[in-house]
Chain A
């Protein structure tokens, strides 16, 4: 069965089992490896993608269920100016990621600063609790998000 997906602003036709999980399509068919194979139960966050601009774990979503939705992986998210805001914040705070949780970190940060222009620390903690990897600690990650929000505000005011 053929399924048409909108991935990173490109139309992609997948020919195969419609029950195939989205992560398998992204990794094995399209070689978009920012989504990692983690717990495969939807709670570790390693396989995070943006589905209609909301972070979701791609390991529990059948590819066919994502028809008609906009899917953005971390590779595609690099085109978004917010990526630079977040990326600069990681660099400014010397917070180096393990490489396995990058998608969950970037999309969690994106979700927070999309919801709140000036997020409070409490709000951040309430949003990022589900990330299981701890290559950086929660306090450092909260600082990254605060700085990314500041970078975003600065860019938008300059723009």
Chain B
């Protein structure tokens, strides 16, 4: 067997996953967790620890046992009481990873259990809320037909690296981890370990996981491993098991969304009352951002005459809820789009006509709704997808198919579903755009174009790099991203993650500027471009109204689904998507980015699809700046599929993923009257 020292320590960590890195004399850590949701910790009984193995808890921390994020104080280790099942209580370290896990499993944590906080909309444990009112929703009550529904959308996850951290405080202070969060990590480690911020070196390793919580969760893990490393004077590696990751860190909180819609017989939305509530778990420093985005997206692409939208979050004794960056959008769009399908069905109205009647107007008008968007191309987007999939004919044909379907019919049930949504880039309601976003690049004599920024996500690379190569031509040898994670001043934490559209715009502008300068100037050339967000005149955070995003990409999708009634499974037969993404430089590359996003959400929904299914992707091009659009796949596809299944089975389906039990129930209910 090869010895560990035979494996040399790598120097560049940026292309490696943290879990694949092994440092000389490194020890492993495993977290001892609370077995109960709520209560006082009475004792922690450890098994006999062999030589070389140790246990550390809150009392061993040199500094404070607290990480502060957005004003929320989160303990590094639970000390006197526990706030959720699985909360870290201590860390066991040792040279053998398997033995460390065995010792952790043999550790007993005794808790004087207390009744946990429950999740209910009437609960007193509300920690955040947002209310938006437009028009006079209370006076408008009960004017037209009323439609009420509750919606649930819970997409699954795709395996990737679990959280992993290596803390090395044997000489100085070095931390290796997959998140790009120097400011938070520095302050957290400094407070917890009592060391000066400037002595810390942070190495970003490869990672595919970015959620709103990942920043503080990584900081918490780094503090736990760091405390052990500081005491042992050895590198400590802490890797979460898949079970820990899924249960305690990726706790998908599914909001309950209740729609109460009043519609005139002509199909005009008179009033929308939407109430959304979600379980935030024990700690949720970003919950207000999530609620705000839920409210902004709640009415989808529609402008009802009156609206009352409320979102609230409850603190419970469940693990902290995990929110992806566009979590709020896809939940809200799923609810409103499935609601629109039900309304169209009940009014016996064409779903396209109903949508067009109530959508954002193309011309910008003030006071149309509490949120304003540039919807110039929205109608064109809907028309394009409707035409591409032959929606009207198929929708009518499948309706007839269902109505005349007999129990012994060999003709399969099919359905067409339509959904529309938007994806906003650069949210004015967050603090990220308070300062100008600057990007600098150097084109040197060797033909290397260096962007001084962290490695951007795949969407940026796949969209903009081919354009740069085309524009700068043969003189461009290489494109690199140079960014020292330890450099000061630090860039915003989610520099190109939540502002992808802005990032792409800046890179494209730099590229075009270099092209112009190059004809008259010798290399090296240095270019700096800046994005300054407009201020309060665009978005009024106090009144919670105005234009919430720098740019809005509109999208529509149509899905064709067939029900396999032998196994009660929905099979996706075809999918059409049209997106208004602004100036699309390369349709092929942009479509490839969207195709990946589609495959990702289809994978999460666990839907069976034709093996050779190729989504039909088209773009409505315009001269406006590039708009971030990859998230639209998440926002429209679940609703489009759900609507298609609803049509196929002739029942209201209001939750995904669709399992055999749901479809069986829907199909048997449908058959009962005939029987």
Chain A positions within 8 Å of B, measured between CB atoms, are 12-17, 20, 24, 27-31, 33, 36-40, 44, 46, 94, 96, 98-100, 121-122, 125-126, 129, 132-140
Contact = CB atoms under 8 A, between A and B. Distances in A.
Nearest to B160: A100
A132 B611 contact: no
Contacts of A134: 158, 596, 599-600, 603
Secondary structure type dominating chain A contacts: loop
26 contacts: A14-B1, A16-B98, A20-B98, A28-B97, A30-B1, A31-B4, A33-B17, A33-B20, A37-B242, A38-B242, A98-B160, A98-B208, A99-B17, A100-B17, A121-B612, A125-B611, A132-B159, A133-B160, A134-B596, A134-B600, A135-B458, A137-B592, A137-B599, A139-B595, A139-B614, A140-B592
A31 B7 contact: yes
Given A38-B159, A125-B611, A135 B20 contact: no
Contacts of B208: 98, 100, 135
Contacts of A122: 611-612
B2 interface: yes
Given A28-B97, A98-B208, A137-B592, 10 more contacts: A31-B22, A33-B20, A38-B160, A44-B159, A94-B466, A100-B160, A122-B611, A129-B611, A132-B159, A138-B599
A89 to B, nearest CB: 16
Interface string B629-642: 00000000000000
B206 interface: yes
Nearest to B158: A132
Interface in B608-666: 611-612, 614
Contact of A99 (B1, B98, B206): B206
Given A13-B1, A28-B97, A132-B603, A137 B596 contact: yes
B167 interface: no
Given A38-B159, A122-B612, A132-B603, A12 B242 contact: no
Nearest to B4: A31
B611 A133 contact: no
Contact of B596 (A15, A44, A136): A136
A30 B2 CA distance: 6
Contacts of B326: none
Nearest to A33: B20
Residue among A31, A134, A138 with max Cβ neighbours from chain B (10 Å):
A134
Contacts of A137: 592, 595-596, 599
Contacts of B4: 31
Contacts of A129: 611
Contact of A37 (B2, B15, B19, B466): B19
A39 B160 CA distance: 8
Nearest to B156: A132
Interface of B: 1-2, 4, 7, 15-17, 19-20, 22, 97-98, 158-162, 206, 208, 242, 458, 461, 466, 592, 595-596, 599-600, 603, 611-612, 614
A112 B206 CA distance: 29
Contacts, number: 80
Nearest to B594: A137
Nearest to B614: A139
A126 B596 contact: no
Nearest to B20: A33
The 9 closest A-B pairs by CB, nearest first: A33-B20, A38-B159, A134-B599, A44-B159, A125-B611, A137-B595, A39-B159, A31-B7, A137-B596
Contacts of A94: 466
A56 to B, nearest CB: 17
Contacts of B461: 96
A122 B614 CA distance: 12
A39 B20 contact: no
Contacts of B599: 134, 137-138
A12 B1 contact: yes
Contacts of B612: 121-122, 125
A44 B157 CA distance: 11
Nearest to A121: B612
B14 to A, nearest CB: 11
A9 B161 CA distance: 28
Contacts of B595: 137, 139
Contacts of A121: 612
B609 to A, nearest CB: 9
Nearest to A28: B97
A129 B602 CA distance: 13
A40 B599 CA distance: 22
A36 B1 contact: no
Nearest to B164: A37
A39 B20 CA distance: 17
Nearest to B6: A31
A29 B614 CA distance: 42
Contacts of A98: 160, 208, 458
A125 B168 CA distance: 45
B158 A28 contact: no
B502 to A, nearest CB: 23
A15 B97 CA distance: 15
A33 to B, nearest CB: 4
A142 to B, nearest CB: 9
B242 A39 contact: yes
Contacts of B17: 33, 36, 99-100
B82 to A, nearest CB: 27
Contacts of A126: 611
A27 B2 CA distance: 12
Contacts of B466: 94
A99 B15 contact: yes
A37 B41 CA distance: 33
Nearest to B243: A40
A2 B15 CA distance: 35
A125 B611 CA distance: 6
Contacts of B242: 37-40
Nearest to A136: B596
B153 to A, nearest CB: 19
A26 to B, nearest CB: 11
Nearest to B246: A39
A96 B592 CA distance: 13
A135 B160 CA distance: 11
A24 B614 CA distance: 38
Contacts of A136: 596
Contacts of A100: 17, 160-161, 208
Contacts of A17: 98
B3 to A, nearest CB: 10
B2 A31 contact: yes
Contact of B162 (A15, A20, A37, A132): A37
A129 B612 CA distance: 10
A36 B97 contact: no
A98 B2 CA distance: 28
Nearest to B240: A37
B17 to A, nearest CB: 6
A27 to B, nearest CB: 8
Given A31-B22, A36-B17, A139-B595, A133 B1 contact: no
Contacts of A38: 159-160, 242
